[in-house]
Chain A
Amino acid sequence: MRRVVSVWFPTLPTDRLGRPEGREGQGSSPNPLSHGSKGHGPWQGSGQRPDLASPVIIVASRVLTAVNEVAAGLGLRVGMKLAQAQALVPGLSVHDADPAGDAAALMRLAGWCLRYAPLAAADPPDGLWIDVSGSTHLHGGETRLLRDLVRRLTGQGLAACAAVADTPAVAHAVARFGGGGVVPPGGSVMADFPIEALRLPAEVLANLRLMGFERVGPLAAAARAPLVRRFGALLTLRLDQAAGKVFEPIVPVVPPELIQARLAFVEPLLTAEAFSTVIARLVALVCGDMERASLGARQLDLLFERVDGSVQAIRVGTARPVRDARHLGRMLDERLERVDPGLGVEAMRLVVAIADPLGFVQTSASLVETAIPDIAPLVDRLANRLGEARVYRIAPVESDVPERSVRRVPALATFAGGWPADLPRPVRLLDPPQPVEAMALLPDHPPVAFIWRRVRHRVRHADGPERIAGEWWKRDREMLSVRDYFRVEDEDGRRFWLFRRGDGSDVETGDMRWFLHGFF
């Protein structure tokens, strides 16, 4: 299933002016707008930096081509004469249009967007496309991917609106006319959009309006032949692209500074075996290049250029830099099932999207077996399959509150320490704790019996209380709160971990309700 993100930058030219100079490459930014190991930003700053809180306009041939939000609020519109604008708003900040600079900025932004998926392309004059098919799970789903994308872009001073849909055309329209968001697979939303959403030339749009077409729906339902005779094939092509009947390829950007290899074939390839052979050769080429540069791959993109002009891609990531051709080849082979070769693949390109320094340590020449088995390849493969966040170790945290005493760390992280051995902890923890009805003598006797899920458990043995106070040094609300934990065993021998909110005498410390928190 194809899923495409379209990003729209409504005020790209003016936002670009406000971009402070020389901010690129400063590592302190939480949103490093850099791709790969080289720290360049998606764009460079321009010579002068206007204050974007004041009206800013951009002109070409004395006609406004872009206005920022403040200027738009003052009634300035694209297409106005410069003299008229200056008469309306005194003290305008006027700048020359720089279409080439805008296009270059878009290309850099597209290169930056490769962090989300291997196929990203500029959609001039003011947008981007990212083919996220099969890679959304790595970012926690489509909604979170969009939110993360827009947050990072706006954090860099770029107004952006993003949408994801089945086809580039629909995503493009929803980003611009539908306010962005996720269009569910198979969803059809185009009918209600204005005809401007179809990416047609201005004169065609004007003529269509003269003919009475306002929305896409009626236009799509109209007879085709007269429309084609009058407006040419582009109109029907756009309609078919919007309906998903015609495949619209995305020609991905490939930043030239990255290590990559490309093989073109005399005859189109179709079989998985053939792809595997090519992968082995590509990986060998790339690994040779990486070895010369003392780099190891953290992320690999393999692009399949199909006969029909579309591009498919698979992406694999590694937990630490890798230059082992066998391991990389195997990871790519495992993703092959996601590729639809269509009528055949005429060229394949392998790009090292992210590379980190890696010294010359790979060969093991010693006769002694390595003491610690290396599980990094396994972690890589599981992380590629399940998502990085779902393969982890659990490290201790110094906290008395049980649910805060653990934290997930990456599977290859090293950590020291453990939990106090003298405090028994359950092996299963209920999150959140489940309320139970318990009968107990106050203030600090264990319960005599408790009812959980409508089953009554009579307590035969109990140990406790273990008092756990709230972390008042971190959270003001927990200044007084207290939990008293009991380990109890019922008459069948099952062991439970119960706690009472509150210390049993002072209501300030908790409401004295009982909860079941875990099982031994």
Chain B
Amino acid sequence: MALLRDRIARIEHIHQKGVAGRSVALGIEAIDGVLPTGGIRLGALHEAASAGPDTEHAAAATLFVAGILARLDGPVLWVLRQADLFAPGLAGVGLRPDRVVFAEAGKDVLSVMEEGLRHPGLTAVVAELTGRLSLVASRRLQLAAEQAGVLAILIRRSQAFDDPVLDEPTAAATRWRIAALPSPPALPHAPDTPGLGRGRWRLDLTRCRGGSPGSWIVEACDATGRLGLVSDAADRSARAA
């Protein structure tokens, strides 16, 4: 079985110019271990969406994506449909403003994203998509990302909560669903003290090519974009290495 997996992986990566193995680790072993390349693979298309009532504004998904980008270097193209993104919020998880070029593409989000992927020099292209993504369109993006070795992330948004459109099959390598969870008190030893601690997310890997889905409870991105693992026992948080 392991042999077969290895062979398939080699066939799949044969036309990727040396970027096949490159990936950015999420920094949590439990999650990275599930992903076939030990992290979010560069040169592939990934999808992220928020769950529940946050599906429309995708704030948690945006922070998750910005946290991944914060741990990479180099310029990022962020393709918007409308401009409701607030750059100080991105800077708050470590994505500096001088790294991001924004493009308001209206309805042309996907073609502008592809244009960005085909251009050498970018580290990552992020696009915010409202509505349907066809299998053909996603395959085009996946191929473009693969050829360029550029990380491509789609933030899927929708007016409807947990829109079934977001669950339709696409060619994305991984698909993440981020849901906010109630966070523990800011000071665990004094639960009545007012204040707001680190946020908490349920991170669902609903689809993973070459791996198996999973679900984890994590602490939201900190100022450098890192997630933290929540140990199941109690409200103790273990910082990721």
Contact = CB atoms under 8 A, between A and B. Distances in A.
B103 A391 contact: yes
A487 interface: yes
Interface string A446-474: 10000000010000111100000000000
Contacts of A393: 97-98, 100-102
Interface of B: 52-54, 57-59, 62-63, 66, 74-75, 77, 84-93, 96-98, 100-106, 108, 112, 115-116, 119-122, 179-183, 185-186, 194-197, 199-200, 223
B92 A495 contact: no
A428 B91 contact: no
B182 A463 contact: no
Contacts of A463: 186, 194-196
A418 B87 CA distance: 10
B115 A428 contact: no
B62 A427 contact: yes
A427 B183 contact: no
Contact of A427 (B63, B180, B194): B63
Which of B86, B91, B182 has the largest count of A CB atoms less than 10 A from its CB? B86
A461 B104 contact: no
For the residues of A in contact with B, the DSSP-based class is mixed
B100 A394 contact: yes
Contacts of B63: 427, 520
Interface stretch (A46-54, A255-263, A287-295, A373-381): A373-381
Given A425-B86, A462-B194, A519 B115 contact: no
Given A373-B74, A418-B97, A462-B196, A428 B86 contact: yes
B59 A489 contact: no
B196 A493 contact: no
A297 B90 CA distance: 35
B116 A428 contact: no
Contact of A373 (B87, B122, B197): B122
10 contacts: A378-B122, A386-B105, A392-B101, A415-B97, A425-B88, A426-B86, A455-B53, A460-B182, A495-B196, A520-B89
B102 A394 contact: yes
Contact of A377 (B119, B180, B183): B119
Which of A379, A390, A421, A463 has the largest count of B CB atoms less than 10 A from its CB? A390
Contact of A520 (B59, B74, B108, B200): B59
B88 A493 contact: no
Nearest to A414: B98
A99 B59 CA distance: 65
Contacts of B119: 375, 377-378, 381
Nearest to A408: B102
A461 B195 CA distance: 6
Interface of A: 373-375, 377-379, 381-382, 385-386, 390-396, 402, 405-406, 411, 414-416, 418-419, 421, 424-431, 446, 455, 460-463, 487-489, 491-495, 518-520
Contact of A390 (B53, B96, B103, B116): B103
A186 B24 CA distance: 54
Contact of A382 (B57, B103, B183): B103
B115 to A, nearest CB: 7
Nearest to B94: A421
Contacts of A418: 91, 96-97
A405 B88 contact: yes
User: Which 4 residue pairs of A and B lie closest in terms of their CB atoms, listed nearest first?
Assistant: A373-B121, A427-B89, A519-B59, A463-B196
Nearest to B77: A378
A421 B94 CA distance: 10
A421 B95 CA distance: 12
A178 B231 CA distance: 75
Contact of A375 (B104, B108, B121): B121
Given A373-B122, A386-B112, A428-B58, 13 more contacts: A378-B121, A385-B115, A393-B102, A394-B97, A405-B88, A416-B98, A425-B88, A427-B63, A429-B86, A460-B182, A461-B185, A461-B194, A520-B89
A375 B75 contact: yes
A462 B101 CA distance: 33
Which of B90, B100, B122, B196 has the largest count of A CB atoms less than 10 A from its CB? B196
B180 A425 contact: no
A495 B199 contact: yes
A271 B121 CA distance: 32
B236 to A, nearest CB: 18
A489 B183 contact: yes
Nearest to B82: A431
B172 to A, nearest CB: 22
Nearest to B63: A427
Contacts of A386: 103-106, 108, 112
A460 B97 CA distance: 32
Given A391-B101, A446-B194, A491-B182, A428 B223 contact: no
B94 to A, nearest CB: 10
A260 B180 CA distance: 60
A269 B231 CA distance: 70
Contact of B101 (A375, A377, A425, A461): A375
A377 B106 CA distance: 21
Nearest to B93: A427
Contacts of A379: 101
Contacts of A385: 108, 112, 115
